[in-house]
Structure 1
Amino acid sequence: METTRVLVEEDIVIVGAGIAGLTTALGLHRLGITSLVLESSDKLRAAGFALTIWKNAWKALDAVGVAHILRPKHLQLQGNEITSLITGQHTSTISFKEQGKNEIRCVKRHLMLEALASELPSDRIRYLSKVVAIEESGFSKILHLSDGTTIKTKVLIGCDGVNSVVAKWLGFKEAAFATRSEIRGYAEYKNNHGFGPKFMYFFGDGFRAGVIPTDEKSVYWFFTWNPTSQEKDQEHNSANLKQFMLDKLEKRPSDVRSVIENTELHNLFSSRLRYRHPWELLFGNISKGNVCVAGDAFHPMTPDIGQGGCSALEDGVVLARCLGKTFSKKQGTHLKDDDEHLEEQQYKRIEEALKKYANERRWRSIDLIATAYMIGVIQQGGSKLVGFLRDKFLATFLAGVLLKKSGFDCGKLDNC
């Protein structure tokens, strides 16, 4: 039996209901502009459990009006503490209070996505909607979904992650694999876990780990290392991975080590780290005509400066702002008119808006990708020289870099 093809028309279609997609949709909604978000899953996906939200990302969340929902549910972190598991010594302790006004919290990913989605009209997220093909149609794009539905749109925004269909259409190659892998986990306690509101980083021989409380009863943690071929084969065996980490972290303080011991296997996730080469953003098409990308579809990066999700929030605000003026009623883009000249004018305005977005985000993204990659190399270097320099001289410097990169301000929605 042949699948029925349904043609739906939308001004703006956003592929992917992740951080970038929902932020863009909500930013547009705040400006009175309707969009449709397509999500291939049957619900919001929150892989990764939690993420660090730095000062720059809180500005973006304030801009779209959901920061006040998330702040009361998460601890504000007061500083970080770095420990070498090779020497057993604390190598650096930094207070965020001393560094100026730095709002930093470890936020549960599902709570963030729910906060963003809850502010959108319920019919503006279409689940089980996987895009399998993109077709040109005059000044519009036709999206073909796996269920046979076709959607015609004036603007196509790809927020569909590291394996983005839209990024591929724009000419981007698949994101490169770093040599490292990461295990992330999430432990929940019946009572207070007892940890203070701070980052706890640990460096070992060729690996690093971190423990960050999200609230009084929940703790997020990560472990990154350079896996051997045999270890790569075990990356989807949660029980083996858990034991592997406990063996590696035998010199870790018992209270911190207990976080991993108390993590249920279903709250443990492993993946190989991926990133996009900076020169691809320099020479590639972040936007082309009425199509663009945002979030991990645009700038996947290693997690070493904690800016992947934060920069996706920035993308959403900037993109909504750039499109906002284009789709204002003054520009007449809401007129239902078959005049080809008007359609061409509208297309050119959209194209210019997306170019403006791409130019505004290009160098910021290149900077973050390159910085994250280099810091990852330094932090996880296995040689004695790198370890010595890191422990004695670089720990404080690297912590300062994290704060510096979070000093960026993406601006408000209406400051066009």
Structure 2
Amino acid sequence: MAAGIQQQNAAEDIVIAGAGLAGLAVALGLHRKGVRSVVLESSPERRTSGFAFFTWTNAFRALDALGVGDKMRGRHLQLQGLRVMASSTGEIAREMDLRVNGKLGPHEVRCVQRNVLLQALEEELPPGTVRYSSKIVSIDDQDGAKILHLADDSTLRAKVLIGCDGINSVVAKWLGLAKPSESGRTATRGYARYPEGHGFEPKILQFVGEGFRAGLVPWSDTDVYWFFTWSPAPSPDANGKEDRSAAAMNQFVLTKMRGAKVGPEVLEAVERSEMSDVLAAPLRFRSPLSLLFASISKGNVCVAGDALHPTTPDLAQGACTALEDGVVLARCLGAGAERGFGHEEGEDRPCLGDAIVGAGDGEERERVVAALRRYAGMRRWRSAQVIAASYAVGFVQESDHTVVSFVRDKLLSGVLAKTLLMMPDYDCGKL
């Protein structure tokens, strides 16, 4: 894998911070448009944490635009339905077909392995696009360009900077975006392997209520992904610290499930999980109201993915929306490239020259600024909508309040189901 940047004062036209889903999607979208970019990743190698995520209709439309949708379809089961159970009674609260038609066409959802998708995206990029062990620690201005100071004491001059560096984004902080808030909830997740086959239907099984939300979903004939979100956080240990070790989280989840009406198949999946395959993290989100007035882009800098819209996972739209960001941003920048900036090596197309960030040619610079402004305008409301809906659905689904539980189980199950299908019924468009 490529090493971090070693030379001082190196320069690049478009620099993307973060080689997660959003960062690689932006880079691949730009590559498809004939625009070169460089992706800086702080980790020494491709990240493998996160296991899997729900890839809904809107995400597959984005992946198809990027040219990797069929690769994912060939390796992951299509999920046919959703069964929601009440954790307090074990009764079915709602069942729904996930293959129904939305306003924009038939729905499609699969549980996709994160590392498989990251690899597929990176393999489509020119060699050397992703530079590992390249962590940005601070950002300075110099004649309109951004001087990126890296952890290895080297610097990189970027004419366009795109922050896809996650919930603790250095770029989002530079833009002045509101700090993500604590939701008061925690999530743990893992996966179980059944070498002889698990025998589960290709459906999502979910339990809600009693202060938690749990689910089980197969991604292949032998592998099952499970998740568990809860509030409030578990009690601290004797030293006043919360124990989030894999063993403690595994035991905590099993204890909570055994105290409710959770099916034995979910308990077995948790028990089968290797301790090294269990992750736990607090759930945070950025205020949706703050995004309506925030500087998503400023000059030649913008953000995408979790750096823009960290959200709770209750609608399973965080990763899906990040892929949308990648397509929209690449399309906006690519449109500007067709008018004269950015190029792939070997193409007879003008480069994003020094004039774009200097005083010589304001027209080129304005094209970049306008492209990022268009992107921000297109993603602002969508991001706020996803965050707000996810938070509201999570609150209702997990609540153990008597009134909320009654209304949820008896009256709101249909509304929640429609909300689950409403967010994926979206098309970010082509490149």
Pairwise TM-score range, normalised by the shorter structure: over 0.9
Residue by residue over 1:309-347, the C-alpha shift from the partner in whole angstroms, topping out at 9 and shown as x without a partner, is 000000000000000021226457516466955442211
Which residue does the alignment assign to 1:205? 210
Amino acid at match of 2:44: D
Q: Of the candidates 307, 310, 316, which is equivalent to residue 320 of structure 2? A: 310
Which residue does the alignment assign to 1:245? 253
Which runs of structure 2 are paired with 1:291-302 in the superposition (5 Å)?
291-302=301-312
Residue by residue over 1:218-256, the C-alpha shift from the partner in whole angstroms, topping out at 9 and shown as x without a partner, is 111111111346258444221121111112112322222
Shift of 1:172: 1.5
Which residue does the alignment assign to 1:167? 172
Q: Of the candidates 374, 387, 393, which is equivalent to residue 369 of structure 1? A: 387
Shift of 1:99: 4.6
Which moves more between the two structures, 280-289 or 332-341? 332-341
Amino acid at match of 1:408: Y
Q: Of the candidates 341, 366, 369, which is equivalent to residue 348 of structure 1? A: 366
Higher helix share: 1
Secondary structure in structure 2 of the residue aligned to 1:73: coil
Which residue does the alignment assign to 2:427? 409
Amino acid at match of 2:52: A
Indicate whether 1:254 and 2:264 are aligned: yes
Which moves more between the two structures, 249-258 or 346-355? 249-258
Which runs of structure 2 are paired with 1:252-401 in the superposition (5 Å)?
252-328=262-338, 330=340, 334=351, 336=353, 340=358, 342-401=360-419
Shift of 1:140: 1.1
Residue by residue over 1:366-402, the C-alpha shift from the partner in whole angstroms, topping out at 9 and shown as x without a partner, is 1101111111111111111111111112122211111
Secondary structure in structure 2 of the residue aligned to 1:22: helix
Which runs of structure 2 are paired with 1:52-71 in the superposition (5 Å)?
52-71=54-73
Q: Could you tell me how far apart the structure 1 residues matched to 2:426 and 2:70 are?
A: 20
Secondary structure in structure 1 of the residue aligned to 2:235: helix
Q: Could you tell me how far apart the structure 2 residues matched to 1:289 and 1:99 are?
A: 41
Q: Residues 364 and 333 of structure 1: is their aligned pair in 2 closer, same or farther, counting only changes over 3 Å? A: farther
Which moves more between the two structures, 61-70 or 226-235? 226-235
Q: Could you tell me how far apart the structure 2 residues matched to 1:231 and 1:391 are?
A: 32
Secondary structure in structure 1 of the residue aligned to 2:148: strand
| Contact 1:186 1:221 (C-alpha < 8 Å) held by counterparts | yes
Q: Could you tell me how far apart the structure 1 residues matched to 2:18 and 2:6 are?
A: 23
Amino acid at match of 1:160: D
Amino acid at match of 1:402: L
Amino acid at match of 1:110: N
Which residue does the alignment assign to 2:34? 32
Q: TM-score, normalised by structure 2?
A: 0.92
Shift of 1:149: 1.6
Q: Could you tell me how far apart the structure 1 residues matched to 2:264 and 2:190 are?
A: 17
Which runs of structure 2 are paired with 1:93-242 in the superposition (5 Å)?
93-99=95-101, 101-228=106-233, 230-231=235-236, 233-242=241-250
Q: Could you tell me how far apart the structure 2 residues matched to 1:98 and 1:60 are?
A: 19
* Unmatched tracts of structure 1, length 5 or more: none
Shift of 1:295: 0.3
- Aligned pairs, number: 411
* Unmatched tracts of structure 2, length 5 or more: 342-348
Q: Could you tell me how far apart the structure 2 residues matched to 1:25 and 1:188 are?
A: 33
Which moves more between the two structures, 329-338 or 393-402? 329-338
Q: For the aligned residues, what is the CA RMSD?
A: 1.8
Which residue does the alignment assign to 1:72? 74
| Contact 1:326 1:349 (C-alpha < 8 Å) held by counterparts | yes
Q: Could you tell me how far apart the structure 1 residues matched to 2:352 and 2:37 are?
A: 16
Shift of 1:78: 0.5
Q: TM-score, normalised by structure 1?
A: 0.95
Amino acid at match of 2:13: D
| Contact 1:290 1:354 (C-alpha < 8 Å) held by counterparts | yes
Q: Could you tell me how far apart the structure 2 residues matched to 1:333 and 1:226 are?
A: 54
